């Protein structure tokens, strides 16, 4: 076996768009001793985290927790509501939308995949038109990604819901919030989402290992006819026992400790403050990117992500060589470009347990890395970010006064 | 939110048959900072734990790791190898065998479930006869539980394999070792098992949240024709990328840290020493039970479990009332009787990170609890256990000298 | 460098009479990140722990905290109140009283050391007589140990105070509570103690590294004329800044986190419950010792310690060989005999974060160790302890009902 | 009691010049379970840390470890080597030199305190002249601070030694390295230092709570005649038992775990690399200060500290108001000006577990704080630091290639 904790001096900057830097409080919570998952103490924990999660999803409906990665929650959303051969409408917003599509195909669903350029979010009008054309209601569900982790492009879910409503189509709406929940505003009930998919390792600041579904009454009703085989992901067994705070199979107790702590932290800061903090980080990062003379992958400002920013590498330069130099010189991990974008973009995660100074350190690492890697750029990115952060921090204080 | 760590004085005795007491070393390993699951450091970790696990399974074949509870690994074993409507032969050794059967049915398999009395292991002769009768080879797999966590009864897997071989039947052999792996001797390759199912929270001394499949070449070949839909549990994507130490979707990084530490601990003690330690605990516990004048649920001494002992409650007494008294008076969790055995047995977990004195404390808690709860019994159980432990400890030292 | 955390399986039983088993909650508290000891957050911590400590000492007077071992608090008590050549009256209750005497001599004080047999506490009548004889009031202080960690013998401090009062002598009363505070009832104000000396690593359940003085107004006044040189231990600089929650030199921040947690735990359990718990452990242990046919070192039942029990080894047998066997076979550390008692007694610590089952495990380790080491004894010690624990636990429940 | 771990989002920047940011590895090491300080395992730990410390002090002579703050090690140096009324020559390099002087006076020593302007280090020529003039050898020791934590000014100890040698004077040389050891090159033996004083909470990256003396043979010999009373700080008792890895009184076991880990980290990085890293941070910081148009307190470039930089506040501006704004807006603690420098300087700690990006974050916090607090300055400090860090990182890589 090999030693695992021999790192360079100073704290590593984990600035991939998730898993994010897990705060000490959460790591310490996770390392509490494991308790009897059928004992009285556990029920209190279970009820507490299930209740807290509803506030984060902004829902009164049901939420389930899986011991699994976020990928599992994608699968759960589909197998609980659909039958083999069902048609699902998906939109190619990027790598993760594409993975969800592949997963659906592997499960035996049919997928209509609306092509995209990986630089824009979902077009509600396009969905509305497609649904309107589906007179026979063959489309059983529309699946979209709220925040494409591969591109830093968000989609307007409220507008998407409105478009679906306008079409009068009964398809379910399923939304992946894996990299947005807990970082950007999201409203399961108000936006009329039927199944929301989420994971622990991004805005919730936990290590990977838990995933979630928020489930509307309509989605729950769909389970009655959904014929895809399911057991591990079956909502019904979960929901039958969850009200008492327990789970049908052994839950990931220690991760639930961490979730409990994460919820306490989010509520102590206030969700709106959390979102505002991420918005500031997004804007500061984009100002830095522009000052460097580099291109933001996301092309529509109204679709900028507050959780991460994907940056286009100048032609003839390798994003991966750049990222490698950053890791080697500056002890920071940045997100790689995925599939179509491999080696062409790098992604700066600015979500989770971060503050202004970790963001400045992050952007300094990018700016210095561009120099070290010989990537053409202008200086002044960190300066631009600092100017904005200073300004907005002073403005916030003035407002508070 | 509620405070989670307010416990009575002294360390809780978590003596359910899993999750087990997680050693400090493992808890500390788990709370290391999360790293980039696509970075260079992660690959080293991934390869290390995958390699280490093979030694624990005693296999040269493939092992996969899921971020899931053990239930997930049951599902994985089936969906990767079978097709809808396939017939599976299962044996009713207890509650967990029954749960696995239900899971198989939910996935759309047919199950022939050989009835059992929950006090015996699998009868190899019965399997041999049944397979021999299946001239058409309709049975695609035989599924058995190595150590029934609900009963403390083991099954002889080597004999089962031999019986299957004698029958000349090509069915796959799948074995659940969730509560035996890392506590009792198990040999995936030598015993000719096709799929072994395991979890993190028992003999591996981790919190719940990881599960495993060990996969024979024959099982792997079966995936080619297996038509059950699968994505999260799909071995192929795992095995395609595992050799580099990475995973197709975000792994549960921090749990893998813990697994790494657990493997180091098991190998440092030596697997044979680990098994011998558990054997001693099992024998000491049974001597205590007999001294109390109570009945061991397992009826065949050759099938005693070294991981737990289920004890039959005298008629007219409630096992759950007894367990509740033990928790209230002595800060110890014991395992409950499940389904058919509800309130009729209690289970003493004696597996994982334990030593002679924690076992004595455990048995003292049982003996005092019997008194407190007014359960008829004789004194002297702890004394009997101590006599055995002393004797065998001296004998071990003499052997070593 | 060598690996530090490679231990045998199962949790070590640290049953020396301190340092005691540190609860997980406290270890986790200690590993929070270090903060600015001059920042606003620190002041809140400082005030909180200073206030909490007063409740533990049962005093309204001043308490100071040193980053040091308990030995430092002995020195602090003397250098703040006395001048070179001053005469101090001390009583030879055991090894630690003797060490305190040596320390006083090294500081240039004169010590009159009343001989003792290490099996009895302080005799108040003897003190009263000696003080009464000291017409010139040459004796400046009487120093006694509340709970002799080397012998398991306590002294009656209230009676000692009364004796001093009867003599009409103005000497200061200084009391070492290093191994009693937080385990046995102690009342700085009510008992009229002038300086109480304490440490972190026993009843307060912390690792070693903090020590304390509680200081009466009379002791504080004595500093005005006390001519022993002092700086690190100087109360005045401490008390000048403590009210704001800060310290004159860098405090041991992380240990203070642990102290904060320890105080929360003690108050949550309730000090009276903590004391009652220790009393039960003491009684149960003594019943075990008697059942083994061994002799308790302490000869006066009214002076039994609830924190530890020293057991006399039968003639011709080595206590250290026995302890070594216990460590080797059963992974438990017992306290050794010190100086005069070397190899003649062993000490069982039953203080701090313990419960009934850890005590039973501890006593089982002793009983099995006696067998392994070939020490003549009768069986039944654990049984006797269990009988008492059961009985008293049922009685407590009955009282609560 | 109050909650202690409720912090703003993101990791706090603890950029005071100590206590420094404690790395996770060390915090985790500290929270291992406490062991028997007289058991066999402890001796291995004790020998290991004592041996490792010698490498850090670069000495073959003795090193002692106290459970105390650094202040204790100051006191220990004096009480072990001097007698009441002895004359000590000290130099007013800043606040901490002044505190050491006060401590010496409180112990009953005479101090000749050479005045200084708090902007320069010790002048070897002045010492040489003074010693040469002391024909009667009344001066028993010269005490100096290697790195004045209050000013960021270092003194040339090698030159000081040479000056003392030239004078032919037998005075002992005592050096405070509290804020330099483990960050800047220091050579106890080669530089002929008699007593080196150090602490845990700066370059050694531990929480406060341990302090150290390195002791030359000459200093040890001085103990024979040194008449100051001593017990806790007495080297002799320590050195009598240290070779076996044990301590005369209860050591701070958990802090020693942390020390063990810290030594492993320092040796893994390599002391020379550690020093070079700190030198880079010092230079980068000074470039930032100059770019802001602010003044570095230290006036002699050959005396710049690599551990911290004190920055002079422009006239009419409050350093404390600035620091407060930085804490409020940017979650960073900076060091305050002390006594003479109160409110006139702020200090940037750049020592311990840091890397380039934490330094950039730190400097960004200062630059943004200057803006927020309305302190006149020029932008470009972070940019200047980044330019230097980039350049030197590329140069280092080129050298390595």
pLDDT in tens, C342-393: 999 999 999 999 999 999 999 999 999 999 999 999 999 999 999 999 999 9
pLDDT in tens, B82-97: 999 999 999 999 999 9
Q: Is D210 helix (H, G, I), strand (E, B) or coil?
A: strand
Say whether both B131 and B162 belong to one domain: yes
Q: Is B1 helix (H, G, I), strand (E, B) or coil?
A: coil
- Closest chain A residue to the Cα of C25, Cα to Cα: A32
**Structure-block tokens of residue A338:** 């995925």
Q: Would you call B398 an interface residue with chain D, using a CB distance cutoff of 8 Å?
A: no
Computed over every residue of chain B, the mean pLDDT equals 96
pLDDT in tens, A91-103: 999 999 999 999 9
User: For residues A133 and B400, what is the distance between their CA atoms, to the nearest angstrom?
Assistant: 81
- Closest chain A residue to the Cα of B178, Cα to Cα: A250
Contact residues on chain A for C33, CB-CB shorter than 8 A: 24
Q: Would you call A367 an interface residue with chain D, using a CB distance cutoff of 8 Å?
A: yes
Subunits next to B (3 or more Cβ pairs <8 Å) are A, C, D
Q: Would you call D32 an interface residue with chain B, using a CB distance cutoff of 8 Å?
A: yes
- Closest chain B residue to the Cα of A17, Cα to Cα: B36
Say whether both C309 and C200 belong to one domain: no
Whether residue B2 is predicted with pLDDT greater than 50 in this model: the reply is: no
Q: Could you tell me which residues come within 8 angstroms of residue A151 by beta carbon, excluding any fewer than 6 positions away?
A: A93, A94, A95, A118, A119, A297, A298, A310, A341, A345
Contact residues on chain A for B343, CB-CB shorter than 8 A: none
Contact residues on chain D for B355, CB-CB shorter than 8 A: none
Residue D295 lies in a domain: yes
Contact residues on chain D for C34, CB-CB shorter than 8 A: 14, 19-22, 201, 207-208
Residue C142 lies in a domain: yes
pLDDT band for C2, please (50, 70, 90 cuts).
Answer: very low
Residue A7 lies in a domain: no
* Distance in Å, alpha carbon of D59 to nearest chain B alpha carbon: 34
* Distance in Å, alpha carbon of A312 to nearest chain B alpha carbon: 20
Q: What is the DSSP letter of B102?
A: H
* Distance in Å, alpha carbon of B207 to nearest chain D alpha carbon: 18
- Closest chain C residue to the Cα of A24, Cα to Cα: C32
Point out the domain boundary residue: D267, D295, D311: D267
Say whether both B263 and B385 belong to one domain: no
Using CB atoms, pick whichever of A5, A382, A397 lies closest to residue D382: A382
Say whether both B67 and B156 belong to one domain: yes
Residue D1 lies in a domain: no
Percent of chain B with pLDDT over 70: 98
pLDDT band for B397, please (50, 70, 90 cuts).
Answer: confident
Whether residue D4 is predicted with pLDDT greater than 70 in this model: the reply is: no
pLDDT in tens, A227-271: 999 999 999 999 999 999 999 999 999 999 999 999 999 999 999
Residue A286, number of CB atoms within 10 A of its CB: 22
Say whether both D113 and D256 belong to one domain: yes
Q: Name residues 204-263 of chain C within 8 A of D (Cβ).
A: 207-209, 228-232, 234, 249-255, 257, 260, 263
User: For residues A359 and A354, what is the distance between their CA atoms, to the nearest angstrom?
Assistant: 7
- CA-nearest of B197, B157, B169, B191 to B77 is B197
Whether residue A3 is predicted with pLDDT greater than 50 in this model: the reply is: no
Q: Could you tell me which residues come within 8 angstroms of residue B382 by beta carbon, excluding any fewer than 6 positions away?
A: B288, B360, B363, B364, B367, C360, C364, C382, C383, C386
Say whether both B280 and B259 belong to one domain: no
| D32 contacts B32? CB cut-off 8 A | no
Say whether both D100 and D72 belong to one domain: yes
pLDDT in tens, D206-228: 999 999 999 999 999 999 999 99
Using CB atoms, pick whichever of A24, A31, A33 lies closest to residue C33: A24
Q: What is the DSSP letter of D181?
A: B
pLDDT band for A148, please (50, 70, 90 cuts).
Answer: very high
The dihedral sign for the CA sequence B190, B193, B195, B196: negative
- Closest chain D residue to the Cα of B31, Cα to Cα: D28
| B397 contacts C355? CB cut-off 8 A | no
Q: What is the CATH classification number for the domain harbouring B241?
A: 3.40.640.10
Percent of chain C with pLDDT over 90: 96
Q: What is the CATH classification number for the domain harbouring C350?
A: 3.90.1150.10
* Distance in Å, alpha carbon of B15 to nearest chain C alpha carbon: 12
Computed over every residue of chain C, the mean pLDDT equals 96
Q: ipTM greater than 0.85, yes or no?
A: yes
pLDDT band for C116, please (50, 70, 90 cuts).
Answer: very high
Residue A2 lies in a domain: no
The whole-angstrom distance between residue B352's C-alpha and the CA centroid of its chain comes to 11
Contact residues on chain C for B6, CB-CB shorter than 8 A: 268
| C393 contacts B368? CB cut-off 8 A | yes
pLDDT in tens, A360-394: 999 999 999 999 999 999 999 999 999 999 999 99
| B34 contacts A19? CB cut-off 8 A | yes
Q: Could you give the dihedral angle defined by the CA atoms of residues B255, B259, B261 and B262, in that order, rounded to the nearest 10 degrees?
A: 130
Predicted confidence at residue A7, as pLDDT, reads 62
Largest CA distance in chain C: 62
Say whether both D167 and D290 belong to one domain: no
Subunits next to A (3 or more Cβ pairs <8 Å) are B, C, D
The whole-angstrom distance between residue C131's C-alpha and the CA centroid of its chain comes to 26
User: For residues D315 and D81, what is the distance between their CA atoms, to the nearest angstrom?
Assistant: 44
Contact residues on chain D for C37, CB-CB shorter than 8 A: 19, 208
Residue D2 lies in a domain: no
Say whether both A176 and A237 belong to one domain: yes
Q: Would you call B279 an interface residue with chain C, using a CB distance cutoff of 8 Å?
A: no
| A32 contacts C28? CB cut-off 8 A | yes
* Distance in Å, alpha carbon of B300 to nearest chain A alpha carbon: 29
Q: Would you call D268 an interface residue with chain B, using a CB distance cutoff of 8 Å?
A: no
pLDDT in tens, B197-232: 999 999 999 999 999 999 999 999 999 999 999 999
Predicted confidence at residue D351, as pLDDT, reads 98
User: For residues B4 and A261, what is the distance between their CA atoms, to the nearest angstrom?
Assistant: 9
Largest CA distance in chain D: 62
Predicted confidence at residue D282, as pLDDT, reads 98
Task: Report the b/e string of C65-100 with b at 16+ CB within 10 A.
Answer: bbbbbbbbbbbbbbbbbbeeebbbbbbbbbbbbbbb
What mean pLDDT comes out for the span C16-41? Answer: 95
Q: How much is the pTM?
A: 0.97
Using CB atoms, pick whichever of D360, D379, D390 lies closest to residue A361: D360
Q: Is D244 helix (H, G, I), strand (E, B) or coil?
A: helix
Domain with A299, as residue range(s), is 13-19+270-400
Subunits next to C (3 or more Cβ pairs <8 Å) are A, B, D
| C231 contacts D75? CB cut-off 8 A | yes
Q: Is C379 helix (H, G, I), strand (E, B) or coil?
A: coil
Whether residue B110 is predicted with pLDDT greater than 80 in this model: the reply is: yes
Q: Would you call C40 an interface residue with chain B, using a CB distance cutoff of 8 Å?
A: no
Contact residues on chain A for B12, CB-CB shorter than 8 A: 33, 35
Point out the domain boundary residue: D243, D267, D291: D267
Annotate C185-215 with three-state secondary structure. Answer: CCCCCCCCCCEEEEECCCCCCCCCCEEEEEE
Number of domains in chain B: 2
* Distance in Å, alpha carbon of C332 to nearest chain B alpha carbon: 8
Using CB atoms, pick whichever of D24, D32, D33 lies closest to residue B33: D24
Say whether both A219 and A295 belong to one domain: no
Contact residues on chain A for C24, CB-CB shorter than 8 A: 32-33
- CA-nearest of A385, A282, A382, B36 to D389 is A382
Least confident among A1-5, B158-162, B397-401, D152-156: A1-5
- What is the DSSP annotation of B2-67? -------SS--EEESSSS----HHHHHHHTSPP--TTSHHHHHHHHHHHHHHHHHHT-SSEEEEEE
Contact residues on chain A for B333, CB-CB shorter than 8 A: 35-36, 39
| B357 contacts C364? CB cut-off 8 A | yes
Computed over every residue of chain A, the mean pLDDT equals 96
Percent of chain A with pLDDT over 90: 96
Say whether both B282 and B295 belong to one domain: yes
* Distance in Å, alpha carbon of A23 to nearest chain D alpha carbon: 7
Task: Count residue pairs from A and C with Cβ separation < 8 A.
Answer: 9
pLDDT band for D397, please (50, 70, 90 cuts).
Answer: confident
Positions at the binding site of C for substrate: 347
pLDDT in tens, C92-110: 999 999 999 999 999 999 9
Is A347 among the annotated ligand-binding positions? Answer: yes
Whether residue B255 is predicted with pLDDT greater than 60 in this model: the reply is: yes
Evaluate whether D19 touches C37 at the Cβ level (below 8 Å): yes
Evaluate whether C73 touches C211 at the Cβ level (below 8 Å): yes
Q: Would you call A31 an interface residue with chain C, using a CB distance cutoff of 8 Å?
A: yes
Predicted confidence at residue D1, as pLDDT, reads 43
User: For residues B3 and A390, what is the distance between their CA atoms, to the nearest angstrom?
Assistant: 37
* Distance in Å, alpha carbon of A89 to nearest chain B alpha carbon: 19
Residue A41 lies in a domain: yes
Contact residues on chain C for D40, CB-CB shorter than 8 A: 327
User: For residues B181 and B198, what is the distance between their CA atoms, to the nearest angstrom?
Assistant: 7
Say whether both B263 and B275 belong to one domain: no
Point out the domain boundary residue: B267, B300, B315: B267
Residue C8 lies in a domain: no
pLDDT in tens, D62-103: 999 999 999 999 999 999 999 999 999 999 999 999 999 999
């Amino acid at each position: 076996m090999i030693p695992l904790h021999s790192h360079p001096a100073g704290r590593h900057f984990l600035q991939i768009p998730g898993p994010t830097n897990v705060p000490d409080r959460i790591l310490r919570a996770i390392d509490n001793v494991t308790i009897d998952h059928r004992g009285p103490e556990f029920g209190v924990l279970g009820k507490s985290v299930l209740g807290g999660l509803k506030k984060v999803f902004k829902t009164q409906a049901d939420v389930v927790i899986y011991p699994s990665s976020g990928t599992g929650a994608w699968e759960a959303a589909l197998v609980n509501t659909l039958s083999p051969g069902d048609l699902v409408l998906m939109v190619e917003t990027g790598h993760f939308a594409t993975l969800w599509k592949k997963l659906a195909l592997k499960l035996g669903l049919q997928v209509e995949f609306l092509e995209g350029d990986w630089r824009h979010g979902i077009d509600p009008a396009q969905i509305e038109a497609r649904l309107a054309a589906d007179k026979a209601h063959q489309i059983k569900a529309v699946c979209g990604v709220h925040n494409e982790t591969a591109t830093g492009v968000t989609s307007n879910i409220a507008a998407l819901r409105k478009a679906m409503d306008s079409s009068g189509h009964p398809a379910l709406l399923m939304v992946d919030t894996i990299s947005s929940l807990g970082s950007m505003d999201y409203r399961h009930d108000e936006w009329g989402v039927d199944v929301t998919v989420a994971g622990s390792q991004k805005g919730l600041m936990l290590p990977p290992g838990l995933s979630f579904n928020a489930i509307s009454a309509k989605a729950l009703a769909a389970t009655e006819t959904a014929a895809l085989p399911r057991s591990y992901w079956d909502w019904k067994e979960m929901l039958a026992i969850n009200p008492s705070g327990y789970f049908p199979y052994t839950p990931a107790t220690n991760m639930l400790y961490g979730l409990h702590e994460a919820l306490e932290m989010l509520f102590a800061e206030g969700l709106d403050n959390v979102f505002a903090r991420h918005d500031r980080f997004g804007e500061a990062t984009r100002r830095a990117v522009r000052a460097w003379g580099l291109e933001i992958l996301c092309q529509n400002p109204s679709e900028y992500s507050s959780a991460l920013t994907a940056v286009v590498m100048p032609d003839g330069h390798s994003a991966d060589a750049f990222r490698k130099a950053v890791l080697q010189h500056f002890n920071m991990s940045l997100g790689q470009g995925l599939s179509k974008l491999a080696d062409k973009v790098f992604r700066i995660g600015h979500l989770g347990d971060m503050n202004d100074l970790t963001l400045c350190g992050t952007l300094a690492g990018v700016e210095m890395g561009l120099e070290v890697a010989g990537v053409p750029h202008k200086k002044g990115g960190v300066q631009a970010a600092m100017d904005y952060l200073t300004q907005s921090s002073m403005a916030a204080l003035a407002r508070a006064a």
